[in-house]
Structure 1
């Protein structure tokens, strides 16, 4: 084919190629959508059938047993009694989303044209925003067991927007990410967490109480150096970036500063693309001092004066320490300094304790 003729078909090639690529990428998403929908709809059928029974508890158990046996005999694996019971639970937890599914009739697939999958002008397949289920069935098997509605929605949004694996979802839930973030927010921001996930708008939105660094593999003891913690984190940088939150990019470790012929070394320099600013991090295993705070202020001032562009927001400094001292921070630094002393833990926190703290905090906010 001549070059001129090939150029004449350029738009055709572009549209056909884009469709093939997007279709291949969409196959997994479509399969997940259909599996989730099928399990949701089976759960709905079970609940509707239960409502026709005289003794609902006994009748419901009989339905699940019988349906599991029928589906297994006719369609093979995947329909054990526990899985079928999970489908029923799935519907009960998410039934308020039923109106978002455009039905095509009993026992038929949903109208994906109107409910979930659309074709863009250049032929790409995309998921419409009003499709009610964002993640895979395996994710929902974890999510549906979270009792608090706001917490459940938060983890669903985070799993979807941050492309968490099932393993990462379990880790973040077990590390009490929702409680740790919520305890660092005001009431309005906590409501936003449930609806949007943890999207940072202000510097305080990247702060957790505390940060959990159990993935570093270090024991929770005093007999290690700051370099040990730094090296452990650098070897698990992907895990650390996920713990920090959305939009973080790694720029440099051990950033050297020279003042009055003395060398200073900042542990980590990150950048957050949502906040559009540098985030400087220093690890402290000893008691936090005013010298530590003053040194971080020096680093932040340097980046604000010599590294930050006019379009970027002020630099954030975070001192990660075993025990923070907020009174010392407030006494040492000026207001709005953009410097924070945040605690870290080398073990997963007590989830029940954090949940109780959050309940107490909510009650205090509501009584104001």
Structure 2
């Protein structure tokens, strides 16, 4: 009985998700087609700003009278902009795993909407256009507000692959995820972010600077202990996993191990299934010292020698601190150490400041 109930529950939930996705996709495709027709009509007549404004105002009045809300002049401007931004997108730039081609209803709709009377259109072309759109219309409206094409592409890919809601998409954007990842990569890595999103192929791909923990609710002006910070992270573990990035699984808090009859405790232990390695995190709210780095090196050495399996990659250690000193880290750790010091902050960063830093960095590495 329980097995049957579980199967039926999964079936119903999958069907409901498919219906929601189908409705979202048809809305996006409809708005794309409306935008296309507006642009083609403008190009067939006088291309003047006054003409475009009058056209959209007349269309809005007529469509609203017949179909109700959703066709304001502003919304029609979004549809026009949407078509202009996405009309020439190459389907090859998006990974096949990110393309939902199963929605035949949406494909049939698009085929009908694109086909002039008495003619037909290839199903393959229909699926290609349909596969370009993977998010809700509200998400696309937000993405269209991102001026930089590379940054916009990154957030669309990540929102698709990670299943972000509009709220989570806005949070990741406001936290400067793109800039924080880009600043930790080389020029080629930044281009890959825009084209492919965040790929996790080596330990360095896991890192951000800084980590943004505003969701913990710890007031900067109020004293808090490392225990308070750790407890807040555990209470908001789902949010913390999202901030850590892709592939993280939580294993333990205050993981104890004994060596030479002495007990040691690792603050937080995670496992990254993409890299197949342990990731240890030690929390520091005071000044980072060389002893903190040495302690993490000992933790990592223990896990590598006594915990990890032979076919797993070396353990990664992250000392998450309020303020780090790059010179101290560089002189303390060997160049090939799998230990990293990273800062955290309890408030959303200044995106303009991050953008200026990224622009300066781009100039330093050659544009």
Residues 115, 131 of structure 1: 8 Å contact kept: no
The Cα of 1:93 is off from its aligned counterpart by 1.8
CA RMSD of aligned residues (A): 2.8
Q: Counterparts of 1:327-346 in structure 2 under 5 Å?
A: 327-346=327-346
Match of 1:123 in 2: none
Separation of aligned partners in 1, 2:153 and 2:88: 13
Match of 1:62 in 2: 54
Distance 1:116 1:338, change over 3 A: farther
Residues 222, 285 of structure 1: 8 Å contact kept: no
Separation of aligned partners in 2, 1:352 and 1:80: 31
TM-score norm. by structure 1 comes to: 0.86
- The alignment status of 1:114 with 2:106, answered yes or no, reads no
Residues matched between the structures, number: 342
Residues 296, 339 of structure 2: 8 Å contact kept: yes
Match of 1:76 in 2: 68
Distance 1:196 1:99, change over 3 A: closer
TM-score norm. by structure 2 comes to: 0.86
Separation of aligned partners in 1, 2:310 and 2:91: 47
Aligned match for 1:96, one of 88, 96, 113: 88
Separation of aligned partners in 1, 2:248 and 2:189: 20
Instruction: For residue 322 of structure 1, give the secondary structure of its aligned residue in structure 2.
Output: strand
Match of 2:103 in 1: none
Distance 1:136 1:224, change over 3 A: same
Separation of aligned partners in 2, 1:111 and 1:338: 55
Instruction: For residue 363 of structure 1, give the secondary structure of its aligned residue in structure 2.
Output: helix
Separation of aligned partners in 2, 1:20 and 1:255: 40
Separation of aligned partners in 1, 2:328 and 2:26: 55
Unpaired segments ≥5 residues, structure 1: 1-16, 118-127
Match of 1:87 in 2: 79
Unpaired segments ≥5 residues, structure 2: 1-8, 93-106
Separation of aligned partners in 1, 2:327 and 2:222: 23
Match of 1:264 in 2: 264
Distance 1:20 1:241, change over 3 A: closer
Match of 1:202 in 2: 202
The Cα of 1:250 is off from its aligned counterpart by 0.6
Which segment drifts farther, 86-95 or 257-266? Answer: 257-266
Instruction: For residue 198 of structure 1, give the secondary structure of its aligned residue in structure 2.
Output: coil
Residues 111, 126 of structure 2: 8 Å contact kept: no
- The alignment status of 1:178 with 2:178, answered yes or no, reads yes
Which segment drifts farther, 322-331 or 237-246? Answer: 322-331
Instruction: For residue 198 of structure 2, give the secondary structure of its aligned residue in structure 1.
Output: coil
Residues 270, 278 of structure 2: 8 Å contact kept: yes
Distance 1:284 1:27, change over 3 A: same
Match of 1:143 in 2: 143
